[in-house]
Structure 1
Amino acid sequence: MLQTYNTDDEQLTLVTLVDLVTEKNTFLVKANSQDMQIYALVWANNTQLLMKATYASTRSGVPVSESRLMVIDVMTGEHRNVISNRLQRKMQYIPQFQTTILALMPEDDEHILLALDGLHNEPGVSVVKINLTTERFSIVASGRKNLINWLTDRQHQPRIALFRDGTEYWISERLPNNKFRELWRFEAFSEQQIWPLGFGQDPSMLYVSAYHEGRLAIFTVDLTAVDLPMTLVKANAHYDTPETITYSWQDKEVIAVGNSYTSAKHIAFQQSLDKALPDTHNRIISQSYDLNRYIVLSSSETDAGSYLLGDKTTKSLEYLLPKFAQLVPEKMVAKSKITYKARDGLTIEGFLSLPKNRPDGPLPSLVFPHGGPIAFDDEDFDYWTQFFVNRGYAVLQMNFRGSAGYGFDFMQLGLGGWGLQMQDDVEDGTQWLIDQGIADAKRICIVGASYGGYAALMGIVRSPARYQCAISFAGVTDVEALVKSSRYFSNFEIVKKQIGDNYRLLRQRSPLTHAQAISIPVLLMHGDQDRSVPVQQSRSLFKALQRHNPHVQYIELEKGDHHLSTQQDRLTVFTAMEHFLKQHLPTEPITVR
């Protein structure tokens, strides 16, 4: 398991091996969380663990995020980079991203297939077979120009290649003679997009995500047919179907589509698990080789989750440990789903959270738009909302146009919409909160992180009388600069298509341009190692506001990233928000009804 552990001098992430019989803990890896973020662990076999990690770096003067894949011997604790020195000598340059595992091979568990660029005389991304013990390797599929990723079939053959040139994608099948057959070609963000998800046991049966009646759905495609017929497997009339499938190599079949089991055996087991653990969402996150023992994460809207060890033979469940020990469910609140009409008649879905033992009448309230912006909020537990509600605030989250999950037309409405109708949806949600008698119109603050931070700052630019204060963590303040900073990366054309490339208009939609008009209290926070939104975005706005706004505060997190990955950074940010809100949006003493 991954654990955080703080001392007076260090913020650590530990890779810990737990013996479930003796309860002995062995620490395999210790990493400083400020220098490296370990974000995933994968068993390669019974004695070797694969560890994925990222860290902040610079390439040719450009700040970037790097990823690395380590192999850990759980018997000795020895660990090393999967990309050996031997392999590096075959490279023109060291790849920025090294964690794309294409296949684990249970019948050959000494090897993995890895997608890598940077190999000599191999343009694009190649597929490399790596021996985890001897460090030997072989190239099993060569890269080509514009080739960005691969998909293997269940026999571990590289079969599907993904290409991109500018904003155009095409998907090709690799044939036995090493030639390619183009399957589909489409523009980014188009309704014609078809994304491969994975194969069934039959190497001719490919699962894909594509639009069906305006919503993303999952289909199968028979690759042996010339016209590539698509058979609908799962769809939802109201929401996009999650773009995931789960394959069981033990059962040799796809057992789940769009986060729902399709296998009768697994459906029955999930039902028995839910019966044993009612009122929680129960997700199996790990299983033993023989599928008998498993670990389940059990969570709910008011419970961050607990891990339990299950045994199918004894039909038992044993409590292991909580995800966040001090966030007790009794102090949490559930979100309520709400809808409201935007000013142009579009229906916006949102979530309202109200404090326990709240007083009668309108409440001090926080409007809390999500980041992304192609992301979404849902009913699931999130500690930001729980923190705010615990402090006595009503919290409104909304899935403004452009949010993920609501179909093609809804997504399209968000393209190039920063500061325009996307912002209208946020402000219309604020008005709905007032009209419903929930929010005290004189006590509303707008809060957000990343794109949400941008929306918070644009909210006080466009409607300065509506909000009493604003909080932005890692928020975008200069949209023009954000788009231009992407010119160093291969997705530059995608970014321009999503956000816009009329720099004059982007300047007008930037909080920095309107800094002189911001006079209400503002709290800005940013990590200096942020690789998603450059720290200069907050520095520039703070400098501009300092000249005339005595109520602006700025906190810069040393070695902080975009995701508040360390516990100390989370404590710093939440302590600062609590003090800021107490000063500028105080709550009345809460009395029990």
Structure 2
Amino acid sequence: MAFKVRIKDQRARLVVLDLSTQQSTVVASFNDASVGHVNWVNNNRLVFDLAVWLLPANERDFNAGLFAVNADGSNFKELVESVSYFAKRPDAREMLPQGTRFLRSSAKADSDDVWVTLVEAWDKKVGADYRRIKRLNTVTGRWVDVDSPPHASHWVFDDQDELRAVSTDRRQRLTMEYRDVGGPWRVLSDQASLEGDIVPLAIDSQDQLYVSSRQKGGFAGVYRWDFKTQRPAPTPVAHVEGFDIFPTFLKRQQQLVGLRFTADASVTLWLQKDAQALQDALDKALPAAVNELSFARQGDSPHVLVRSFSDRNPGVSYVFNRDTKKFTKLGEARPDLKGRLMGEMDLVRIKARDGREVPTYLTLPPGASKKGLPLVVMVHGGPWSRGGDWRWNEEVQLLATRGYAVLQPEFRGSTGFGSDHFKAGWKQWGLAMQDDVTDATRWAIAQGIADPQRICIIGASYGGYATMMGLIKEPELYRCGVNWVGVSDPQLLYSVSWSDMTDAIKEYGLPQLLGDPVKDADLLKAASPLHQASRLKAPLLMVYGAKDERVPLIHGEKMRDALKPHNSNVEWVVFPDAGHGWADEETQINFWSRVEKFLARHLAAPQK
């Protein structure tokens, strides 16, 4: 079994544990970076990259790369070129270029091969538009090209390692292409991107193609593809009312045994009775938690890896022996928090003013009265994404353990809750999307949970935008706000040429989702915090990254300058080496320490 170990003030190392002898071996470690993603190649070999995303931007002088090593630490091989000292080696020219990413391992137990993706052309109009798939031998470092449609962005292989299905999302069209073994590629589905729902997911040992589709109630489920009708079969393999599910297919000895997906929390649907029976037994032994089981990739080992976590537990890993019925504890995700009381999270569905249900996660602080609490409304970014699910969240728990209730509304426009909920948010920045956040906040007041005089709204990116709009539209509702890397003017998403927004997104996506910069100019102006800065009077903490390419610093600078004549309670912070979010621990601690002090100052209980 492979896992990573990180000792305080050191980089994460790759360790292999022999379960039969309980002997562990460090097989890879680096002075300058932690080991990142890890995958087995076969029973004796692993492939991994470096976690460069954890480093401050000014220290990222090498790429994630890709490396392989045997389970005993021998036969180390660098497969993908990195910069800095890795790239200066004489054999660097024999490697694949930086930017190559791991895709999958072989389904065969005796193979040394993995498959990787490589962006070979970047079209500014459409983004990363030309990708190659290569089959890479992790022992020799040699590779061969795999026949794949060049514009694909999602790939599905069969159990014989043949690439059989792909999807492309390009120029407003979502397509699914398929081929029989040795046959030509053919298009099975062609839909408008924002309306499209058919994406290939897996091919099983009986050569059945599984796809994602919204055939039932507008919620994405899993269906078998019917080649006779050229449509998904009418009966779903997996479907959960109220949620879109996009599962990971779990296999054992090349047989499909289950599907793992997120509904309100992580769920595993087992297709084999013995696996379900084992799940039931472990859930009984480890109650009030999500217990994710992983069987050995090859063979019929009695050992099962168990990852157990909950809203109040960051996670504990065990090995369970099915023969002896014994657990072996491997370690905890955050042992420094052991014994600390955490906030309890629940999913509630509140009614918005127009009757729409808004899924909302509510976390209450531990060991305190559940009424009249100071409330932090945390608005997720995206905004066309899902905010969260039922599990331990370090940002939420930082707030909850300081005594704040935390409300996380999945406002309309959020994904993961059906096509209707998603589409209801189109062109609704500052309008119905904002109203959902307001209505969720008012619900918390009506329930007696929140003290109406001590509510703060916070968020990053779109959440930072919603923070500023909330303070503008609802000045009596929120005492203060925290905006980090937030959009200050929707029009800037079109006009700032040095952002990483591609021409394709500006031409095809944003006009339909956000509003056309010409046709909807009045709508976008009305939804702009920048153009309404004089109405924002509440205390506001604004934090931006100087190297942010998604929401460039100019968003914050313009808003800061517009607020100066009208609001003396603005705190302005720029992290010079940060991008769109805080990757390194030092910046995270700096930021959240500021947030903690800001909230304590503005949401303090009145003196009696």
Q: Which TM-score band (shorter chain)?
A: 0.7 to 0.9
Who is 1:242 aligned against? 245
Deviations 1:513-543 (A, max 9, x none): 3333323211122344445443443344334
Who is 2:515 aligned against? 500
Who is 1:115 aligned against? 117
The answer to whether the 8 A contact 1:90-1:119 is kept is: no
Over aligned residues, Cα RMSD in angstroms? 3.4
- Shift of the alpha carbon at 1:177? 5.4
1:569 aligns with 2:587: yes
The answer to whether the 8 A contact 1:149-1:163 is kept is: yes
Distance 2:78 2:117 in 1: 18
Distance 2:607 2:342 in 1: 19
1:81 aligns with 2:95: no
| Matched residue type, 2:502 | Y
The answer to whether the 8 A contact 1:234-1:257 is kept is: no
| Matched residue type, 1:469 | C
From the superposition, tell whether residues 461 and 229 of structure 1 become closer, same or farther in structure 2 (CA, over 3 Å).
closer
| Matched residue type, 1:41 | V
Match of 2:246, SS?
coil
Distance 2:156 2:348 in 1: 39
Deviations 1:96-149 (A, max 9, x none): 4x32514423334211122334289xx8333321111112111231444x3334
Deviations 1:545-582 (A, max 9, x none): 34553322233335435454333233222211111111
| Matched residue type, 1:104 | S
Deviations 1:394-453 (A, max 9, x none): 222211112223211111111222221000000111222222232222221111123222
Who is 2:321 aligned against? 311
1:432-581 matched pairs, under 5 angstroms: 432-484=443-495, 485-488=499-502, 491-492=505-506, 493-502=508-517, 504=521, 505-530=523-548, 532-546=550-564, 548-581=566-599
- Of the candidates 397, 412, 421, which is equivalent to residue 408 of structure 2? 397
Distance 2:445 2:212 in 1: 44
1:280 aligns with 2:289: yes
The answer to whether the 8 A contact 1:13-1:31 is kept is: no
Distance 2:94 2:511 in 1: 36
Distance 1:194 1:140 in 2: 24
The answer to whether the 8 A contact 2:205-2:255 is kept is: yes
1:171 aligns with 2:185: no
Distance 1:554 1:418 in 2: 24
Match of 1:479, SS?
coil
The answer to whether the 8 A contact 1:456-1:471 is kept is: yes
Distance 1:299 1:308 in 2: 11
- Shift of the alpha carbon at 1:352? 2.4
From the superposition, tell whether residues 141 and 380 of structure 1 become closer, same or farther in structure 2 (CA, over 3 Å).
same
1:106-145 matched pairs, under 5 angstroms: 106-118=108-120, 124-144=130-150
Distance 1:532 1:326 in 2: 34
Distance 1:531 1:2 in 2: 31
Q: Report the identity percentage.
A: 26
Distance 2:512 2:312 in 1: 38
The answer to whether the 8 A contact 1:475-1:538 is kept is: yes
Distance 1:571 1:581 in 2: 15
From the superposition, tell whether residues 432 and 531 of structure 1 become closer, same or farther in structure 2 (CA, over 3 Å).
same
Match of 1:368, SS?
strand
Who is 1:43 aligned against? 40
Deviations 1:152-172 (A, max 9, x none): 222211111323331111111
| Matched residue type, 1:267 | Q
Mean CA deviation greater in 471-480 or 527-536: 527-536
Who is 1:60 aligned against? none
From the superposition, tell whether residues 372 and 389 of structure 1 become closer, same or farther in structure 2 (CA, over 3 Å).
same
From the superposition, tell whether residues 238 and 141 of structure 1 become closer, same or farther in structure 2 (CA, over 3 Å).
same
The answer to whether the 8 A contact 2:304-2:319 is kept is: yes
Distance 1:171 1:282 in 2: 34
The answer to whether the 8 A contact 2:148-2:163 is kept is: no
1:298 aligns with 2:296: no
Mean CA deviation greater in 339-348 or 415-424: 339-348
- Of the candidates 218, 221, 228, which is equivalent to residue 225 of structure 2? 221
Who is 1:104 aligned against? 106
Match of 1:118, SS?
strand
Match of 1:542, SS?
helix
From the superposition, tell whether residues 354 and 204 of structure 1 become closer, same or farther in structure 2 (CA, over 3 Å).
closer
From the superposition, tell whether residues 511 and 229 of structure 1 become closer, same or farther in structure 2 (CA, over 3 Å).
closer
| Matched residue type, 1:165 | R
Distance 1:285 1:588 in 2: 51
- Shift of the alpha carbon at 1:196? 0.7
Distance 1:486 1:524 in 2: 22
From the superposition, tell whether residues 13 and 293 of structure 1 become closer, same or farther in structure 2 (CA, over 3 Å).
same
1:585 aligns with 2:586: no
- Shift of the alpha carbon at 1:228? 4.3
Distance 1:287 1:380 in 2: 25
The answer to whether the 8 A contact 2:461-2:485 is kept is: yes
The answer to whether the 8 A contact 2:257-2:275 is kept is: no
1:306-345 matched pairs, under 5 angstroms: 306-328=316-338, 330-345=340-355
Mean CA deviation greater in 329-338 or 411-420: 329-338
Who is 1:264 aligned against? 273
Match of 2:335, SS?
coil
The answer to whether the 8 A contact 1:376-1:399 is kept is: yes
The answer to whether the 8 A contact 1:200-1:254 is kept is: no
The answer to whether the 8 A contact 2:133-2:148 is kept is: yes
The answer to whether the 8 A contact 1:527-1:556 is kept is: yes
Mean CA deviation greater in 408-417 or 123-132: 123-132
- Shift of the alpha carbon at 1:265? 2.1
Unaligned stretches of 5+ residues in structure 2: 54-59, 123-128, 262-267
Distance 1:186 1:31 in 2: 49
From the superposition, tell whether residues 309 and 360 of structure 1 become closer, same or farther in structure 2 (CA, over 3 Å).
closer
Output the TM-score relative to the length of structure 2.
0.83
- Shift of the alpha carbon at 1:325? 1.6
- Shift of the alpha carbon at 1:298? 0.9
1:196 aligns with 2:196: no
1:29 aligns with 2:34: no
From the superposition, tell whether residues 587 and 318 of structure 1 become closer, same or farther in structure 2 (CA, over 3 Å).
farther
Who is 1:382 aligned against? 393
Distance 2:482 2:232 in 1: 50
- Shift of the alpha carbon at 1:343? 1.6
Distance 1:427 1:541 in 2: 22
From the superposition, tell whether residues 407 and 149 of structure 1 become closer, same or farther in structure 2 (CA, over 3 Å).
closer
Distance 2:213 2:32 in 1: 39
Distance 1:545 1:193 in 2: 43
Match of 1:457, SS?
helix
From the superposition, tell whether residues 271 and 249 of structure 1 become closer, same or farther in structure 2 (CA, over 3 Å).
closer
| Matched residue type, 1:110 | D
- Shift of the alpha carbon at 1:3? 4.6
Mean CA deviation greater in 15-24 or 422-431: 15-24
Distance 2:550 2:44 in 1: 35
| Matched residue type, 1:112 | V
